[in-house]
Amino acid sequence: MSVTTPSAAAPPSAPVRPWLQLAIIWALLLTVPLWLPLLGGYTAIAARVIIFALAAMSLNLLLGFTGVLSFGHAAYFGLGAYGAGLFLKYVTASTPLAMVAGTLLAGISGTLFGRLLVRRRGVYFAMVTIAFGQVCYYIAYKWNDFTGGYDGLRGFARAPLDFGLFKIDITGSGTLFYYFVIAVFGLAVGLQALILRSPFGRTMLAIRENERRARFLGLPVERHIWLAFSISCFFTGFAGSLYALLNNFADPSTLNYVMSGNLVMITVMGGMRTFWGPLLGAVLFVMLQDYVSSMTTNWMFFVGITFVLVVLVFPRGLMGVLQKRLGA
Interface with other proteins by CB under 8 A: which residues?
A: 1-2, 4, 8-14, 194-195, 198-200, 202-203, 205-206, 209-210, 212-220, 224, 227, 273
* Closer residue to other proteins (CB): 227 or 303: 227
Contacts 24+ apart (CB under 8 A), 244-248: 244/80, 244/81, 244/82, 244/84, 244/85, 244/88, 244/98, 244/102, 244/153, 244/156, 245/84, 245/95, 245/98, 245/99, 245/158, 246/44, 246/47, 246/48, 246/51, 246/177, 246/181, 248/156, 248/157, 248/158
* Closer residue to other proteins (CB): 13 or 297: 13
Q: What is the closest distance, in whole angstroms, from the C-beta atom of residue 215 to other proteins in the complex? A: 6
Rounded-to-integer distance, Cα 8 and Cα 17, Å: 20
Q: What is the DSSP letter of 116?
A: H
* Closer residue to other proteins (CB): 77 or 235: 235
Q: What is the closest distance, in whole angstroms, from the C-beta atom of residue 42 to other proteins in the complex? A: 39
* Closer residue to other proteins (CB): 14 or 91: 14
* Closer residue to other proteins (CB): 169 or 209: 209
Q: What is the closest distance, in whole angstroms, from the C-beta atom of residue 202 to other proteins in the complex? A: 5
Tell which residue, 184, 218, 249, 229, has the closest CA to residue 67.
Answer: 229
Query: Would you mind telling me the total number of residues written for the chain in this entry?
Result: 328
CA dihedral 180, 242, 271, 113 (to 10 degrees): 140
State phi, psi for 4 to the nearest 5 degrees.
-110, 120
What single letter denotes the amino acid at residue 78? G
The distance between the two most distant Cα atoms of the chain, rounded to a whole number of Å, is: 74
Q: What is the closest distance, in whole angstroms, from the C-beta atom of residue 201 to other proteins in the complex? A: 9
* Closer residue to other proteins (CB): 148 or 271: 271
Q: What is the closest distance, in whole angstroms, from the C-beta atom of residue 60 to other proteins in the complex? A: 16
Q: What is the closest distance, in whole angstroms, from the C-beta atom of residue 37 to other proteins in the complex? A: 41
